[in-house]
Amino acid sequence: MEVSLPIAIGLFSMASVAIVVAAIFLTTAADIIASRMGLGRLWVGSLLLAGATSLPELATAITAALAGSADLAAGNMFGANMLNMSNLAILVALFGGRYVFQQVAPQQALVATTAIALTVLATLFAFSKAEVTWLAVSIPGVVIIVTYVALSGVLRRFSLGIEEESDGETPSHSLRWAWTVFAACASAIFVAGPLLAITADRIADITGIGASFIGVLALALVTTLPELTTTFTAFRIGAPDMAIANMYGTNSFNIAALGVASLFYPDGSLFADVGTSSISAGLFAILLMGLGVLQLLRRRPLTHFSFTTPTPPMFVGLYILGLFVVFRLAS
């Protein structure tokens, strides 16, 4: 798209606002769906809500893949997973409460481990430059998609037995209203996604900043706004299980979306063309999620300074370090 830098930034901003506004209503609708259908907040957060809030990443990854920009697609996904962990740490510190990790279901560790496994798989494919195709179909992409579906089934099975405390309030809206609002907001988010990818690629071309860094920073920052908004709202309505599961579930869906995007890549295997800077973002995402699993398994009271337990400042610091490494490698 041949437009000037101010126009590209303006379109980028408009799409960002549309995504945020739509995301505001998703959490309430998802909570009503969980309550009316008895699905459980962990399952709704890790799969239903996570899938909806990850639609910008899916749309931008497919658009970037069609444009032949492997680094923009992979950088967006790995960068989004990094940023989600930093955002979750900040939201937990501000709104989760000191005993948040003792309040959430133990199965949260399974949700987080699923996200790590998928990110490790995608990073290994990129590191090994896996260029395996069959009838022009990316085999690594298919493997990632199948793995996501299989692990989601396992998660669904383990989350069925979770008993959640009821707040005693009956949802004020009907199930039909909730599904209508959820579908409308998800559609709006999906439509705005491609515009983000197109304008981000244009901004990268004009400014001379590498596509991988644009994906890891600017594009990841905007496409994770739905997750940030919905997770914040979930904490505010007293649903920590939905909040935390949404972030880790989103990270899983992001990698599955990268697998889907690889099927649209026109130049062979997308993973074979992912650069070192994007791979480094994947490694930092794995590190941050690994620390998150440690928090969930130890189930200790939240502290802001510790040498033995991951803390919110540690997550933010590692995210900033990751950005620095990606920028240096992309330069």
Core vs surface per residue 274-287: b (16+ CB within 10 A) or e: bbebbbbbbbbbbb
- pLDDT for the residue 48: 78
Q: Does residue 167 lie in a domain region?
A: no
- pLDDT for the residue 216: 58
Q: Which residues have CB under 8 Å from 308's CB, separation 6+?
A: none
CATH code where residue 204 lies? 1.20.1420.30
Q: How far apart are CA 244 and CA 246, in angstroms?
A: 5
DSSP 8-state class, residue 68: T
Q: Does residue 166 lie in a domain region?
A: no
Neighbouring-strand partners of residue 138: 133
Q: Does residue 169 lie in a domain region?
A: no
Angle CA 291–218–241, to nearest 5: 40
Task: Chunk the chain into consecutive blocks of 10 residues (it has 331) and report each block's average pLDDT, rounded to whole numbers.
Answer: 82 82 79 75 76 81 87 88 93 88 85 94 90 76 93 76 51 82 86 74 72 62 78 84 88 94 87 90 96 89 78 92 87 68
Residue-wise pLDDT for 262-299, tens only, equals: 999 987 788 988 989 899 999 999 999 999 999 898 88
SS3 of residue 322 by DSSP: helix
Q: At what angle do helices 108-127 and 139-159 cross, to 10 degrees?
A: 170
Q: Using CA atoms of 178, 184, 190, 191 in order, give the dihedral in degrees to the nearest 10.
A: -170
Q: Does residue 100 lie in a domain region?
A: yes
Read off φ and ψ for residue 78, nearest 5 degrees.
-65, -40
- Give the total number of structural domains in the chain: 1
Mean pLDDT rounded to a whole number for the chain: 83
Q: How far apart are CA 212 and CA 73, in angstroms?
A: 8
Read off φ and ψ for residue 292, nearest 5 degrees.
-65, -40
- pLDDT for the residue 118: 96
Q: Does residue 102 lie in a domain region?
A: yes
Q: Which domain holds residue 88?
A: 5-161+174-264+271-330
Q: Does residue 193 lie in a domain region?
A: yes
Q: Does residue 168 lie in a domain region?
A: no
Q: Does residue 109 lie in a domain region?
A: yes
